[in-house]
Amino acid sequence: MARDKIDYEWVAEELDEHGDIIDPMYGDTLAEVMGFIEPAANVEYALMRREGNDADGENYREYTYLVDGKLPLKFPDGYRVPLRFHREVKSTLGPLATTVHRLGVD
């Protein structure tokens, strides 16, 4: 049995007027996926955690979403979000995260 490895990837999910995902865009950095979609679009950004191996392929995937410019401390199933991603959010959004939160902009 092959040993599973864990990978992370950012995703931007543009939403239609009903809140359904139109087309997810994946990238290595938050800044990269933020550049994929028009600033005025209705979009959610998430960090994806993926487990799998070369022999069996992907066997588990989960997402945690940016809320008010911040990532939760854990994924929904309880896995901790690595500190490097919290730092990435802070460095990418910087003052924007505070502005978005203060203005109530979605």
Per residue in 79-91, pLDDT (tens digit) is 999 999 999 999 9
SS (H, E, C) the chain: CCCCEEEEEEEEEEECCCCCEEEEEEECCHHHHHCCCCCCCCEEEEEEEEEEECCCEEEEEEEEECECCECCCECCCCCECCHHHHHHHHHHHCHHHHHHHHHCCC
What is the residue extent of each domain of the chain? 5-103
pLDDT in tens, 18-52: 989 988 999 999 999 998 877 767 889 999 999 99
Half-sphere exposure (CA, 13 Å, Cβ side) for 31?
Answer: 7
